[in-house]
Structure 1
Amino acid sequence: MDNEITLPIWQVDAFSSKIFGGNPAAVVALSGTWLPDSLMQAIAAENNLSETAFVRLGEYPVPLRWFTPRCEVPLCGHATLATIAVMHQVLGHVETGSTTEIASASGILRVRANRKNYVLDFPSRPTVPTGTPKAQLECVLDCEISEVWESVDRYVCVFGSEAEVRDVNVNVSQASTLPLPGLIATAIGSDCDFVSRYFAPAKGVLEDPVTGTSHCTLAPFWGRRFGKTQLRARQLSDRGGEIHCSLVDDRVRLTGECRIYLQGSITVPVLG
């Protein structure tokens, strides 16, 4: 129909070596200009994944935007990984061993496509003291917290053990009213350097399975404490995911694998 458009779409399990693991992201490929923001938001809401990436093919650096079911976000790790995996494994736009530059709301990002994995080169997001009372966040998480920090758009709540992070039970309604929309729970890992979980109900993401942007904060945070620049991390969601983190000056490099789960097309109305 004249008032509809058909677009290619893929769903990719990012930060995972197997299907049904890691964090699923949708990737929608565009030719030419962006779709109207309202239409991209509607597609993301319909997909109902943590993020849907929209990529404009045939341009360089590669223009990329990300939407949760509720809003656009300025930076997303797993959906960037998913986008490059589609361009590498399906479309043939990215060669093995090459580094692709991405134009985003957070500046130029870089992704290296290796034979088995991908390396994100993202800006570091350091922590600062928070003005939100620890007691308020303890009410949201229904447990005691050792330390509280913040970074850009999320709180960093430090716990005494991996088991405590696993047992966190977020009060969604209270979390949605916090000054910052995201909340990280983290601790030293039992068989890795650190573990985490991430919640962002204000963005329409109750719990994110594996969160690249959180590791742009957690890698430098734990790296300083351990005196290390190479760290192994695990996100303790039901799907789970593992990330190798490398600190280089004010950048964080995150390494993960991808598996393409679905490919097809969507037909949507052209919204103004």
Structure 2
Amino acid sequence: MKLPIYIVDAFTNTQFKGNSAAVVLLDTWLDDGVMQSIAIENNLSETAFISIKGHNAYDIRWFSPITEIDFCGHATLAASFVLFEYYQVTGEIQFSTDKVGDLFISRQPTGFIEMKFPNQEPEPVLDIPSELLAGLSKKPIEVLKNRQAYFAIFETEEDVTSLQYESEALKSLAPLDVVVTATGDKYDFVSRYFWPANGGDEDPVTGSIHSGLTPYWSKKLNKTELKAYQASFRGGELFCSIVGEQILVSGQAVVYLTGTIDI
């Protein structure tokens, strides 16, 4: 069996920046174990598998090297980029998912890809887990959580960029991951994302968590349009806004590799 594969750097317009995702196009789903093995072999933060349902309609699933993931933004951007760039798809793409409903994606005249995500605003945590505090080198000023992660809020960008973390302590918070965030110097807000239980130590750029970061910072900053930066070693820019009950997350992408998997 030969399967087309693409590796795309998402949330950047420069190769080797942003977050890399593999995209594999299927006629029908493979066995879950085979898809997990492909993700392990790719050894990227995510591999997106997409299967066509109809005109501009696809099912999508995401696998890290460790497990299947409920929701991944950068691999959704990468998959959309592949469809727009290599399969001449025009108009709005609909991705169906098991856990977060339907995602609607469009390519803007600027070339940016805009993704409509559900609003996953976090709620305050009164009883902060000791493992969270033990896993971060600095104490946050506030902690919240949503279905995906704990949100550790800090005062300054320097607090976020200089932060050290302890993976084993954060791993014990599974199934939740951890995002650390603060207002930025050049951006409205910055963040870093740790997910040792589900994918790896630090994710380069995490589109999905911005469905929670955006409503949080929108209220704090009294803005509905925000420019964000994920301050990982690769770094990535995200443009976020709120329209009604939806969170819009936009970014750029650039291809790194096109090829074929032989199974």
TM-score (norm 1): 0.92
Is residue 2:14 matched to residue 1:21? Answer: no
Equivalent position of 1:118 in the other structure: 113
Asked if the contact 2:227/2:238 (under 8 Å) is kept, the reply is yes
Asked if the contact 1:134/1:145 (under 8 Å) is kept, the reply is no
Structure 1 vs Structure 2: percent identity of aligned residues? 39
Asked if the contact 1:63/1:103 (under 8 Å) is kept, the reply is yes
Equivalent position of 1:78 in the other structure: 74
Equivalent position of 2:87 in the other structure: 91
Change in Cα spacing, 1:179 to 1:65, as seen in structure 2 (3 Å) is closer
Structure 1 residues 18-62: Cα deviation after superposition (integer angstroms, max 9, x where no partner): 11111100000101x210111111111111111100011363421
Asked if the contact 1:181/1:201 (under 8 Å) is kept, the reply is no
User: What CA distance in whole angstroms lies between the structure 2 residues aligned with 1:179 and 1:23?
Assistant: 22
User: What CA distance in whole angstroms lies between the structure 2 residues aligned with 1:132 and 1:155?
Assistant: 12
Instruction: Give the drift of 1:132.
Output: 4.7
Equivalent position of 1:101 in the other structure: 94
Instruction: Give the drift of 1:131.
Output: 5.4
Asked if the contact 1:155/1:180 (under 8 Å) is kept, the reply is no
Runs of 4+ in 1 over 6 A off after TM superposition: none
Q: 2:61 aligns with which of 55, 58, 65?
A: 65
User: What CA distance in whole angstroms lies between the structure 1 residues aligned with 2:250 and 2:67?
Assistant: 26
AA aligned opposite 1:108: D
Equivalent position of 2:151 in the other structure: 156
User: What CA distance in whole angstroms lies between the structure 2 residues aligned with 1:17 and 1:133?
Assistant: 38
Instruction: Give the drift of 1:151.
Output: 1.0
Asked if the contact 2:174/2:197 (under 8 Å) is kept, the reply is no
- Structure 2's unaligned 5+ residue stretches are none
Equivalent position of 1:258 in the other structure: 253
User: What CA distance in whole angstroms lies between the structure 2 residues aligned with 1:11 and 1:72?
Assistant: 18
Q: 1:11 aligns with which of 4, 7, 15?
A: 7
Q: How many residues align?
A: 260
Instruction: Give the drift of 1:130.
Output: 2.4
Instruction: Give the drift of 1:135.
Output: 4.6
Equivalent position of 1:169 in the other structure: 164
Say which SS state the counterpart of residue 232 (structure 1) adopts.
strand
Structure 1 residues 80-113: Cα deviation after superposition (integer angstroms, max 9, x where no partner): 1101111111121x12xx2111111211110011
User: What CA distance in whole angstroms lies between the structure 1 residues aligned with 2:127 and 2:234?
Assistant: 30
User: What CA distance in whole angstroms lies between the structure 1 residues aligned with 2:101 and 2:169?
Assistant: 33
- Structure 1's unaligned 5+ residue stretches are none
Structure 1 residues 183-215: Cα deviation after superposition (integer angstroms, max 9, x where no partner): 000000011110000010001321111111110
User: What CA distance in whole angstroms lies between the structure 1 residues aligned with 2:53 and 2:212?
Assistant: 32
Measured on the aligned residues, the alpha-carbon RMSD in Å equals 1.3
